[in-house]
Amino acid sequence: MTNSNANPAGPERYDERVLDPSNLEAERHLVMLRFGELLLSDDKEAIKDLATELSPGDLSEILRPLSVGDTTRILRLLPPDPLAEVLSEIDNRSLSTLFTLLDNEEIADIIEEMPSDEATDLIGELDPDQAEEILAAMEPEEREEVTELLQHSPESAGGLMGKEFATCAETGTCGETVALLRTMDEDDLEETHFVYMVDARERLVGQIPLFRLLIADPEAPIRDFMEVDPLYVEVDLDQEEVANFFQTHDLISVPVVDHQMRLVGRITADDIMDVIEDEATEDISRLAGVSVHEFGEQSAFRVARSRLPWLLGALLGQLGAVLVMGHFEKSLEAKLTLAFYIPMIMAMAGNIGIQNSSVVVRGLATGEVDFYHLGRHLLRELGTALVTGLVVAISIFAVSFIFSGDLQLSQVLSLTLLLVVIFAAMAGSGIPLLLHRMGIDPAVATGPFITTANDVASMLIYLGLATLLLSLGQASAS
């Protein structure tokens, strides 16, 4: 966050211990064990020394497996500056516990050391009453920045942006711009990649990369070096769209403007990495039928509670398959061998559905698949389903006929698997695309939902065909 009292010498620095990237997991584990020994002996000075020599990223990963209590004991020993960096990385449970042990003045001091976007995210996680008290304890400039950012949806460009950016008038010189940068806080300069040009009404008109300022004549007008009409995003753009924009244009930073083109913030690539991770975690959790809040949770009871709604929903859906089988009970009694192949058919339908829906959900997330090319995508998947279905059908016909010698059963199985593969492929591909078109997160169509739908449909196809062919066989025999 911007500090008007910039320290020319820079903030206090700590010598960071660099862990071996080729053996990172093992090294982090060894450091975690060392923390365990120091916590057991309650050697606070040694704990503080070990914690401050680690980079904030490594320390946050090392703390992750520790209990909330041990994590809090370590964090309380850190100075405000490194503590602020670590707090932006650790889980909310440890954060909440730590904040119960600090007064609002201490919390405000820590938050003031954080970048404005991370400070806003942290305050947004707090109880509204506590957040209001902490904001009141903050310095006016930092409070104003965070209050402004809190007005935006956390999943929009406004929720991602930070207020640490440099601007200058397009009428200035390169030397004046460099002088302006020298007055900025060193922490703010670390993530400054561009200086943005604005007009008298604070509207974005251009930008200049820092490297150009280094080679420019100090007396040269800034407009001679600036990039006119720079790429930008509007403040209410969804964070997924912002991430796609970054990936499409290989950006490291992008300015954020309001609807009057006034510059209000900037987003950097590290913010986008967090978005991509969060979105991927959310999609994977829904694909697996678990809650996104389950990741990092240590309580078996809470994990079970988050999974049960999905599992109970799937259980109810499977009752549909039971009802279908009950409806065809006479067919099963007449030819008991039919029942032996039910698990295989249901598993095949589920696997095909999950394969196709996973590809579509990923394609929608990366922009490789969209509704406007629905026909082309479904046509490709139909062709793929026909090829795989024919191979599977021929294989099961040969295997079942060799084992049973029953031509009629082999015909039922092969035709069933061909139709089931086609149906499951179309359902796995089409449903996520349609949901995406309707504005619903397509990940909710996967996991238990697709599997249940395919199970019910596969039983209808299998037992329906078996009943039809059995009745035809009996009719021809009579």
pLDDT at 301: 67
More confident residue, 36 or 338: 36
Beta-bridge partners for 450? none
Phi, psi of 345 (to 5 degrees): -65, -45
Average pLDDT over every residue of 411-432: 87
CB-CB contact of 193 with 268 (8 Å) = yes
Q: Supply the pLDDT for residue 381.
A: 83
- DSSP string across 59-121: HHHHHTTS-HHHHHHHHTTS-HHHHHHHHTTS-HHHHHHHHHTS-HHHHHHHHHTS-HHHHHH
Reading the block at residue 15, the tokens are 């010598």
Torsion, Cα of 383, 385, 386, 389 (10° steps) = 160
Residue-wise pLDDT for 9-28, tens only, equals: 444 444 566 787 888 888 88
Cα distances (Å, whole numbers) of residue 426 to 205, 368, 384, 429: 48, 18, 10, 5
What the block records as the tokens of 24 is 């990172």
- pLDDT of residue 8 exceeding 50, the answer is no
Contact between 213 and 177 under an 8 Å Cβ cutoff? The reply is yes
The angle formed by the CA atoms of residues 117, 69 and 119, to the nearest 5 degrees, is 10
In order of their start, the domains of the chain are: 21-151 (1.25.60.10), 166-268 (3.10.580.10), 289-477 (1.10.357.20)
pLDDT at position 302, please?
A: 61
CB distance 263 to 255 below 8 Å: yes
Portion of the chain with pLDDT greater than 70, in percent: 78
- Between 368 and 452, the more confident residue is 452
| CB-neighbour burial class of residue 298 (10 A; exposed 0-12, middle 13-18, buried 19+) | exposed
Coil vs helix vs strand at 320: helix
Q: What is the per-residue pLDDT for 440? A: 66
> Do residues 424 and 352 make contact, with C-beta atoms less than 8 angstroms apart?
yes
pLDDT single digits (tens) 353-382? 877 877 777 777 666 676 666 677 788 888
pLDDT band at residue 476 under the 50/70/90 scheme:
low
**pLDDT single digits (tens) 86-125:** 887 776 666 766 777 778 888 888 888 888 888 888 888 7
Reported as a single tens digit per residue, the pLDDT across 179-189 is: 988 888 877 78
Residue 367 backbone phi and psi in degrees, to 5: 85, 5
Bigger pLDDT: 447 vs 137 = 137
pLDDT at 2: 39
Q: What is the mean pLDDT of the chain?
A: 80
Q: Kindly state the helix (H) or strand (E) to which residue 208 belongs, with its residue range.
A: strand 204-209
Q: List strand residue ranges (DSSP E) for 131-203, in order.
A: 166-169, 194-198
Query: What does the pLDDT look like over 262-281, one tens digit per residue?
Result: 999 999 998 898 888 777 76
pLDDT of residue 10: 40
Span 73-84, pLDDT tens digits: 898 898 877 888
| Token reading at 247 | 């990936």
Report DSSP letters for 228-289, one per residue: ES---EETT-BHHHHHHHHHHHT-SEEEEE-TT-BEEEEEEHHHHHHHHHHHHHHHHHHHHT
Phi, psi of 358 (to 5 degrees): -65, -40
Check whether 293 has a pLDDT greater than 70. no
CA atoms within a 13 Å half-sphere pointing along the CA-CB vector of 166: 24
Confidence band of 6 (pLDDT split at 50, 70, 90): very low
Q: What is the CA radius of gyration of the chain?
A: 30
Q: Which residue has the tokens 């406007």?
A: 372
For 194, counting Cβ atoms within 10 Å of its Cβ (0-12 exposed, 13-18 middle, 19+ buried), the class is buried
- Beta carbons within 8 Å of 82's beta carbon, 6+ residues apart: 14, 51, 52, 56
| Chain segment 298-341, per-residue pLDDT in tens | 556 665 665 566 556 666 666 666 677 666 666 656 567 777 78
- The answer to whether 3 touches 113, Cβ cutoff 8 Å, is no
The two three-digit tokens of residue 374, written as one number: 């629905």
Stretch 251-269: mean pLDDT: 94
Residue 452 pLDDT > 90: no
Q: Between the CA of residue 299 and those of 70, 78, 305, 344, 362, what are the distances in Å?
A: 16, 27, 10, 35, 30
Residues 6+ apart with CB under 8 A from 309: none
pTM tops 0.75 = no
- Residue 469, classed as helix, strand or coil, is helix
3-state helix, strand, coil in the chain (%, to 5): 70, 10, 25
Q: How confident is the model at residue 205 (pLDDT cuts 50, 70, 90)?
A: very high
Two tokens, residue 152: 């935006």
